[in-house]
Structure 1
Amino acid sequence: MSRCVYIAGTADTKGDELSYIRDIVATEGLVAQIVDLSTSPHAMSVDIAAADVAGHHPGGPSAVFTGDRGSAVSAMADAFVRFITKRDDVAGLIGIGGSGGTALIAPGMRALPIGTPKLMVSTVASGQVAGYVGPSDICMMYSVTDLAGLNRISRTILANAARAIAGMAKSVIFHEEDRAAIGLTMFGVTTRCVSQVVTGLSSGYDCLVFHATGTGGQSMEKLADSGLLCGVIDVTTTEVCDLLMGGIFPASDDRFGAIARTGVPYVGSCGALDMINFGPQNTVPDHYAGRQLYRHNPQVTLMRTTREENARMGIWIGERLNRCNGPVRLLIPEKGVSALDVLGQPFHDPEADAALFDAIENTVVVTPHRRVQRLPYAINDPEFAAALIHHFHEVVKEV
């Protein structure tokens, strides 16, 4: 089957731009098709009609073409996710749109595997785009002018975009690796641990390290969902702190979801669960007045978690691990969960840690394949890194 570059947008308002991109992609020797995501009638000629896309919605086209723009666009976005992920010929996906069009197309892009070329030409690309890109590898290109017809600027921008997606589609390479890939999570205060684990495993595994800043954990789990990881060593689960307590690097509520869905071998720990991340000190919410703070750098202020917060996190993590039916080990570093949580450091608080550890142990339902183990080490001790490696080899053998 010939692979195809799909060009997504609302042909009722951006038909000329979509055709312009299609024609340029075609001149690059690629099959190109316009996917119409309009929710109102029009006479523009397209390759894949909006009704065909809407037919992929669980409720059928009638669930999309409701006459109410808000619900129609939301339903079309859902339909497009299902449409594009059922295609087995996607060489690349390019979309164009304003804020609404970007929100309509981006979920479909995020649903595609990492490595599939994705380019979004958008009027909002010069602003905050985390909500659109998420954990995916979407390329965002600012349209400069509004996407309201072709002009001397838009022609240049769209031509560049068309040739960019064509170039990516023609040259996409998935490097062959003899080593299977594993995902690891790291923060500055757990770097020493993760570095030791990578050193110990890199001869046999391609070690992919993700910065635990919210998106990092989501990216790692997206790779697990995509079947690109043979295992996970989740040293640094700190994103849970920010999710539950309102920090700036939060996990999504689906943290650990990919582990549950895929059954991928999993070894986790409590890395940096002693801290919630905020911006400069004056950005710490007023309701946290009087709490123990640590100035990590001018842009990041850390706040020590309390016994109550740790107990809450332990229950949250434990409940999600209970959903995982693949091989799971959670290793508890009794002498400190970060570089700041060891004896003599500002976040050292054995009582707060004990509340976390007890909550995890009391919540996790132990089975032959799901176990929790306490170890008399700090997270960055060589012995703890060695234990992570040992247990990883164990869980890999269980699948």
Structure 2
Amino acid sequence: MEFPVATSSERAAYVAGTFDTKGRELAYLRQCLEKLGLRVVTVDLATSGKPSPASVHPREVARHHPQGESAVFSGDRGTAVTAMALAFERYVLTRRDLGGLISAGGSGGTALATPAMRALPVGVPKMMVSTVASGDVRPYVGPSDICMMYSVTDVQGINRISERVLANAAHALAGMVTHPMPESEARKPALGLTMFGVTTPCVQMVTKQLEEAYDCLVFHATGTGGQSMEKLADSGLLAGCIDVSTTEIADEIVGGIMSAGPTRLDVFARHGLPWVGSVGALDMVNFGARDTVPERFRARRLYQHNASVTLMRTTAEECRAIGAFLAAKCNAMRGPVRLLIPEGGVSAIDKPGQPFHDPEADRALFDTLAQQFRTSSDHQLVRLPHHINDEAFADALVAAWRQITARNEERTHATHRQR
């Protein structure tokens, strides 16, 4: 769904949360924002059925659930909260005046508000005051630009600590809403690239060749990195992608800790963006320190990248599954595609004399891709004799990118001439 962007005169700060349990704290956020001159919309996400003091009643939010209001107010608290989170996610995407979103709560309130924050485009101000903000916030923040502020005390009442923390959060949101960064008409188009430590030379060479024409945004392919890149693509902030390091797929298929999830690459099936990709670091699955490697993998070929990261070599069988996954994703892409395969090795430690050199496993990956990738004039797979970090391979990636973007521009001009 396209998010309607509010003009500066229309912008409102949205304060959302469960007003039946956090009404005093949420009202304080509203007061702080109004004192700063902002128009405020309060949204109640409570599922208790109690009377609501908010601008937007819970039932109004609940109507945005795909199954309607009854799916939220089902009588079961657990399913009601999950359903309300989905309804709120759908609700915020329809708001034409939303200039920023703030919430406050414990773990439940955080889980209720942050899916909607993640659904908003990158750049829309988002602030979550939470009791869980000092721990692992990846499940709440994901690939988005949510600001998490630790509440210090529980979000329960207004005291000398909570008053200061909540006021700071409100003032931070107000600053973001009232002073947005102006768009530059002369800004270069943004290009997403994925890099891993073992593919760094390749990405650096590609970036050097393209940085004059593009704003090159490099993402570390650690799970969240791939998700973040695709979030920007979904938000309309990327001109396309040179996906050198698709290594997150290996973690998804085999069970490592750096998966970007099963939806990796699906954004290119939703949007017809140009995509040039490769198989960077698909020779490895990632784990933490060596003693964190699951028991079932202890006898496998392991390599300690550093004290906190242990790599495991993918087998031929796993490479066939990885290849099938990647080919299916490429086949579903709507835009022009070039998948380049470096037959000399897919990472810095996958070449003769290196610990992950395994021609049989690489061949299983390459052959599976060649067999299952559907070729057309717009979708092409190219096998090259180079190693992924060879200069010649970087040159080939750049040439492929220039080829498909030039064809895209020709099509656009032809369409305009026909009109």
TM bin, normalised by shorter chain, reads: over 0.9
Q: Residue 269 of structure 1 is aligned with which of 262, 265, 278?
A: 278
Partner residue in 1 for 2:395: 386
Distance 2:334 2:161 in 1: 54
Distance 2:39 2:114 in 1: 22
Q: Residue 230 of structure 2 is aligned with which of 211, 221, 225?
A: 221
Structure 2 residue ranges without an equivalent (≥5)? 1-8, 409-419
Q: Does 1:89 align with 2:101?
A: no
Q: Residue 244 of structure 1 is aligned with which of 228, 235, 253?
A: 253
**Does 55-64 or 268-277 show the bigger shift?**
55-64
Q: Residue 110 of structure 2 is aligned with which of 70, 88, 102?
A: 102
Distance 1:86 1:300 in 2: 42
Cα deviation for residue 212 of structure 1 reads 0.2
Distance 1:325 1:398 in 2: 15
- Specify the code of the residue in structure 1 equivalent to 2:193: L
Is the CA contact (8 Å cut-off) linking 1:117 and 1:172 kept in structure 2?
no
Partner residue in 2 for 1:255: 264
Residues 65-99 of structure 1 show CA distances to partners (whole Å, capped at 9, x for unaligned) of 11111111111111111110111222111011111
Q: Residue 71 of structure 1 is aligned with which of 75, 79, 82?
A: 79
Distance 1:42 1:212 in 2: 46
Cα deviation for residue 41 of structure 1 reads 2.3
Structure 1 residue ranges without an equivalent (≥5)? none
Distance 2:362 2:110 in 1: 43
Distance 2:376 2:234 in 1: 24
Q: Does 1:206 align with 2:215?
A: yes
Distance 2:187 2:138 in 1: 33
Cα deviation for residue 324 of structure 1 reads 0.9
CA RMSD of aligned residues (A): 1.1
Distance 1:17 1:257 in 2: 39
Cα deviation for residue 172 of structure 1 reads 2.1
**SS in structure 1 at match of 2:71:** helix
Q: Does 1:166 align with 2:210?
A: no
Partner residue in 2 for 1:21: 29
Q: Does 1:367 align with 2:381?
A: no
**Does 363-372 or 382-391 show the bigger shift?**
363-372
Distance 1:289 1:88 in 2: 53
Distance 1:129 1:163 in 2: 22
Query: Where has structure 1 moved over 3 Å in runs of 4 or more?
Result: none
Is the CA contact (8 Å cut-off) linking 2:99 and 2:124 kept in structure 1?
yes
Partner residue in 1 for 2:44: 36
Q: What number of residue pairs does the alignment pair up?
A: 399
Counterparts of residues 298-337 of structure 1 (less than 5 Å)? 298-337=307-346
Partner residue in 1 for 2:411: none
Counterparts of residues 112-151 of structure 1 (less than 5 Å)? 112-151=120-159
Q: Residue 51 of structure 1 is aligned with which of 59, 77, 85?
A: 59
**Does 232-241 or 361-370 show the bigger shift?**
361-370
Cα deviation for residue 143 of structure 1 reads 1.0
- Specify the code of the residue in structure 2 equivalent to 1:138: I
- Specify the code of the residue in structure 1 equivalent to 2:205: Q
**SS in structure 2 at match of 1:219:** helix
Q: Does 1:284 align with 2:293?
A: yes
Distance 2:161 2:334 in 1: 54
Q: Does 1:195 align with 2:198?
A: no
Partner residue in 1 for 2:356: 347
**SS in structure 1 at match of 2:51:** coil
Distance 1:83 1:278 in 2: 38
Distance 1:2 1:162 in 2: 19
Distance 1:89 1:359 in 2: 49
Distance 2:250 2:333 in 1: 21
Cα deviation for residue 174 of structure 1 reads 4.8
- Specify the code of the residue in structure 2 equivalent to 1:70: G
Distance 2:42 2:355 in 1: 58
Partner residue in 1 for 2:407: 398
- Specify the code of the residue in structure 2 equivalent to 1:254: T
Residues 156-182 of structure 1 show CA distances to partners (whole Å, capped at 9, x for unaligned) of 111111111111111221552531001
How high is the TM-score relative to the length of structure 1? 0.98
Distance 1:83 1:332 in 2: 43
Partner residue in 2 for 1:6: 14
Distance 1:88 1:221 in 2: 24
Distance 1:95 1:174 in 2: 26
Q: Residue 188 of structure 2 is aligned with which of 161, 179, 190?
A: 179
Is the CA contact (8 Å cut-off) linking 1:15 and 1:44 kept in structure 2?
no
Q: Does 1:152 align with 2:160?
A: yes
Is the CA contact (8 Å cut-off) linking 2:11 and 2:177 kept in structure 1?
no
Distance 1:252 1:94 in 2: 27
**SS in structure 2 at match of 1:7:** strand
Cα deviation for residue 397 of structure 1 reads 2.5
Distance 1:174 1:32 in 2: 23
